Amino acid sequence: MNILVTGGAGYIGSHVAKKLNNIGHHVVVYDNLVKGHREAVLTAKFVKGDLADKKLLNEVMQSEEIEAVVHLAAHSIVGESMEKPGKYFQNNLSNGLNLLEVMVSNNVAYLVFSSTAAVYGEPQEVPITEDHPTNPASTYGDSKLFFEKILERYQQIHGLKYVSLRYFNAAGADHSGEIGEAHSPETHLIPIVLQKALGIRDKLYIFGDDYPSRDGSCIRDYIHVEDLADAHILALDGLIDGMDSRIYNLGNGEGYSVKEVIETASALIGKEIEAEIGPRRAGDPAVLVASSQKIREELGWKPKYAALETIIETAWKWHKGGGFNGND
């Protein structure tokens, strides 16, 4: 199939594009490179473009005869979204709507959407299932939840078929070592821990050690980015086989604390990674763990790299290799 991957030069998008390419699809990555990396697009066709540019989007959709879209292009820093809500609504909602309009006008009926566990907010119970109430604690979470709502209407009115994947904590890197996580600024725990281990970051803080968790630090459900990418392929296959639109959580169902992540990385690398206790980071729930029972049962998704050691090991290989342009 001819598949458009928006945000395909980003961390998760580049892994998705690589997998789609590997199984024989013609993949066109559409990315404005504000956060993405040109080097992350390995074999797919690349178009530098912004979702605000409806004309270019339409041209690409027509000239490449696009049949399905995987939509990952978005702003995704929770903290920033609470300082600049307009930026998040503009890009994640308004620009996302351009994509939907162009899809509808070109009769492109299949969409896999990159959503987030941030739609749930502070959970009432864990593991979190898809029918857990949604109550985002951030504009970022709002923007993804509102887009899911928009998708429902597009389905009802235009017959758009979609799967929304609510990611928990994407982590790790492609086993080849060719692509991996390279955000600037980096805010995610595992890359920060590894940058500290490499000596390219001065301080590592544990954001709070007084949470109601087994060791006082926050617990998250880390999912290997290749397992995440596999889920996109299953979702797309499901839609093409006639499955109805739906929402899936994506996590391993097992949580690790910030302290456990640092200890696991230290043991793997063979040296102690020093960390200091810092204040809590605003908006962090104590425990976020997914139930991914639904996608396991319905699509047969099964994570291959669920062990935290494997996740960190692949990330370490990537970081040690210097990332895209040296480490940033």
The residues that touch ligand UFG, with contacts defined as CB under 6 A, are 76, 78, 116-118, 140, 169, 187-189, 192, 205-207, 218, 220, 258, 281, 284, 288
d(CA 164, CA 96): 14
- Between 206 and 234, CB nearer to ligand UFG: 206
DSSP 68-131: EEEE------HHHHTT-HHHHIIIIIIIHHHHHHHHHHTT--EEEEEEEGGGT-S-SSSSBPTT
The active-site residue, picked from 140, 167, 211, 222, is 140
Shortest distance in whole angstroms from residue 234 CB to ligand UFG:
21
User: What dihedral do alpha carbons 32, 44, 224, 50 form, nearest 10°?
Assistant: 10
Spatial contact of 179 and 173, defined as CB atoms under 8 Å apart: yes
Q: Which two tokens stand for residue 288?
A: 């976020």
Nearer to ligand UFG, 3 or 218 (CB): 218
Between CA 220 and CA 183 the distance in angstroms is 19
- Cβ-proximal residues to 124 (8 Å cutoff; 6+ apart), any chain: 132, 133
Q: Is 11 a catalytic residue?
A: no
* C-beta closer to ligand UFG: residue 79 or 322: 79
**Residues β-bridged to residue 45:** 28
Smallest gap from residue 78 Cβ to ligand UFG (A): 5
CB-closest chain residue to ligand UFG:
218
Q: How far is the CB of 76 from ligand UFG (least distance, A)?
A: 5
24/212 with CB nearer ligand UFG: 212
Sign of dihedral through CA atoms 122, 124, 128, 132?
negative
Query: Of 146 and 205, which CB lies nearer to ligand UFG in the complex structure?
Result: 205
The residues annotated with a catalytic role in the active site are 140
